[in-house]
Structure 1
Amino acid sequence: MLNIGCHVSSAKGYLAMGREIGSMGGNVFAFFTRNPRGGKAKSIDNDDVEAFIQYKNEHCIGALVAHAPYTLNPCAVKPELREFAHDVMSDDLERMEYTPGNFYNFHPGSHVGQGVETAIKLISSQLNEILKKKQSTTVLLETMSGKGTEVGKTFQELAEIISQTELKEYLGVCLDTCHVYSAGYDIVGDLDGVLKEFDRIIGIEKLRAIHLNDSMTPFDSKKDRHAKIGEGSLGIEAFRGIINHPWLKNLPFILETPNDNAGYANEIALLKGLCR
């Protein structure tokens, strides 16, 4: 069974999110823990959580892949920005325990001129402060496209963050298909080779989720411009290979394409049709 879904609105709570993804034919979903640009998170309603967990079990909904705000930068130059990232991520991980056993995805950040080595030390240092023994949430580092001073554009950079983190068993990777292709990993012409490289450098067991996006820009463009499935430079056959690959097919696939709910429902149906 294909584990496929998209981002849904968290404004009305967990049960509403579960029903929303079900209405689109999906069985996994992502949501922002708070406004994508930051800010205070909505309070959690225990009754809503209990109702959602019951609904989730009854409707065979799989993994939740929560997404941290885009504004977080744990390797920022300014201490107050690093503190903001620390506080938000700490709070988010506490909130994730209301729905245990899921994923929390974040962008590693931008070094803004400090250099990658310094940035990796700052990111790992923050993870060492935030991650707690016996937490049930797995924190996912997202693969990045390499625009500007982004960290996480190579598997080596992600591996080094993991290496410098003490509780590395609570870390994983979310591979974004648009980002890795734009970063120079040819998942169209050599998917097996890219995954073998990931396995050699990071370990395939650390790959826990996929952001499924086509790209508006060509291979190795170092741009982050998502396109609808089959309408970008990756093309439909690349996605057929990705969702059916034996190392990937059981992971949660999250669409982040430029769509409304009707468009997501169409893409979910399209991808289910490609599933072998």
Structure 2
Amino acid sequence: MFTIGCHLSSSKGYLVMGETATKIGANTFQFFTRNPRGGSVKSLDLVDIAKYNAYAKENGIGQLLAHAPYTMNLCSADADLRIFAKNIMLEDLSRLEHLDNVQFNFHPGSHVKQGVDVGTGYIIETLKEALAVGGKTPILLETMAGKGSEIGRNFEELKAIIDGVENHPRMGVCLDTCHVFDGGYDIVGDLDGVLAEFDRIIGLERLKAIHLNDSKNPFASHKDRHEKIGAGSLGLEAITKIINHKSLKDLPFYLETPNELDGYMEEIKLLHSLRKDG
């Protein structure tokens, strides 16, 4: 089954997000766990979550993706900011345990001139603590475009984090099509080769979700500016290959394109028309 959705605002709760997804033709969605540019979070509404869980089951909504806020930098050079980030992760994972079917995705962080090895060590330290608590929610590292001092700019950096937590079964990867293209992986000209490289370094069994975005920038620009589907440097032909690829087609896809709801609805219709199974 083609599992496709977009990013929705969580301000009105899970049930409203589920109903909105259904209205625009989506069968999954992504949401921020809290204010993406801050750290504030709404009080947990267990009644709303229970209603959403029932609605999702009745309406065939697939696996959700909870996106951590951009302010959650596990490898900040500031110790207080690292503690702030760790507390966000621990609290978010605790809250997500109430949802029936969700994964937690985050940007690994920026080492801010400390170096990749130091930054990676901090990320591993927090992840070990989070995983030791237990729980069912998978934790996904997002592939990054490589701007500034981002960690996760290549598959080797993600593998180092996974190795550092002893290949814990809850760890996975969310592949962002804009990010990997901007980062220098030619998913337009050599999708099979890129996926073979991912499999060799990380293992395709760790690939759990796709952020499906076109890019405003040219190949290997190491920037991060998403574009509407088919309107950027990837183009419609490459995106068609991505959503139909045998190694990707059964994963959940999440649109993060610059759209309002009407735009997402049109993109979802377009992508369904490009899927070989409809």
Q: TM-score range by the shorter chain?
A: over 0.9
Which residue number corresponds to residue 225 of structure 1?
Answer: 225
Which residue number corresponds to residue 164 of structure 1?
Answer: 164
Which residue number corresponds to residue 274 of structure 2?
Answer: 274
3-state DSSP of counterpart to 1:184: coil
**Does 38-47 or 258-267 show the bigger shift?**
38-47
The offset of 1:134, in angstroms, is: 4.3
Mapped partners of 1:95, 1:64: distance in 2: 14
The offset of 1:41, in angstroms, is: 1.1
Which residue number corresponds to residue 94 of structure 1?
Answer: 94
Mapped partners of 2:64, 2:272: distance in 1: 19
Which residue number corresponds to residue 207 of structure 1?
Answer: 207
The offset of 1:72, in angstroms, is: 1.0
Report whether the alignment pairs 1:77 with 2:77.
yes
Runs of 4+ in 1 over 6 A off after TM superposition: none
Mapped partners of 2:102, 2:59: distance in 1: 17
Contact 2:53 2:100 in 1 (8 A): no
3-state DSSP of counterpart to 2:169: helix
Mapped partners of 1:93, 1:129: distance in 2: 12
The offset of 1:206, in angstroms, is: 0.2
Mapped partners of 2:157, 2:167: distance in 1: 17
Contact 1:133 1:167 in 2 (8 A): no
Mapped partners of 2:44, 2:143: distance in 1: 30
3-state DSSP of counterpart to 2:51: helix
Mapped partners of 1:174, 1:203: distance in 2: 13
Equivalent residue runs for 1:117-136 within 5 Å: 117-132=117-132, 134-136=134-136
Contact 2:62 2:101 in 1 (8 A): no
3-state DSSP of counterpart to 2:84: helix
The offset of 1:166, in angstroms, is: 3.8
Mapped partners of 1:35, 1:106: distance in 2: 14
Which residue number corresponds to residue 32 of structure 2?
Answer: 32
Contact 1:28 1:63 in 2 (8 A): yes
Contact 1:76 1:110 in 2 (8 A): yes
Mapped partners of 2:201, 2:40: distance in 1: 37
Which residue number corresponds to residue 112 of structure 2?
Answer: 112
3-state DSSP of counterpart to 1:31: strand
- CA RMSD of the aligned region, Å? 1.0
The residue type equivalent to 1:127 in the other structure is: L
Mapped partners of 1:62, 1:91: distance in 2: 23
The offset of 1:132, in angstroms, is: 3.3
The offset of 1:5, in angstroms, is: 0.3
The residue type equivalent to 2:245 in the other structure is: H
3-state DSSP of counterpart to 2:132: coil
Which residue number corresponds to residue 47 of structure 1?
Answer: 47
Task: Kindly tell me the number of residue pairs found equivalent between the two proteins.
Answer: 276
Mapped partners of 2:167, 2:244: distance in 1: 32
Equivalent residue runs for 1:7-26 within 5 Å: 7-26=7-26
Instruction: Using structure 2 for the length normalisation, give the TM-score.
Output: 0.97
Which residue number corresponds to residue 192 of structure 2?
Answer: 192
Q: Deviation string for 1:180-209 (max 9, x for gaps)?
A: 000000000000000000000000000000
Mapped partners of 2:12, 2:205: distance in 1: 34
Aligned sequence identity (%) = 57
Report whether the alignment pairs 1:66 with 2:73.
no
The residue type equivalent to 2:216 in the other structure is: M
The residue type equivalent to 2:13 in the other structure is: G
Contact 2:242 2:248 in 1 (8 A): yes
The residue type equivalent to 1:79 in the other structure is: A
Contact 1:128 1:166 in 2 (8 A): no
Which residue number corresponds to residue 249 of structure 2?
Answer: 249
The residue type equivalent to 1:51 in the other structure is: K
Contact 2:39 2:71 in 1 (8 A): no
Contact 1:101 1:136 in 2 (8 A): no
Instruction: Using structure 1 for the length normalisation, give the TM-score.
Output: 0.98
The residue type equivalent to 1:12 in the other structure is: K
Contact 1:128 1:167 in 2 (8 A): no
The residue type equivalent to 1:88 in the other structure is: I
Mapped partners of 1:246, 1:94: distance in 2: 34
Q: Deviation string for 1:119-174 (max 9, x for gaps)?
A: 11111111011123641100000000000010001000000000001462111000
3-state DSSP of counterpart to 2:220: coil
The offset of 1:50, in angstroms, is: 1.3
- Consecutive unaligned residues of structure 2, counting only runs of 5 or more, are none
Mapped partners of 1:189, 1:167: distance in 2: 31
3-state DSSP of counterpart to 1:205: helix
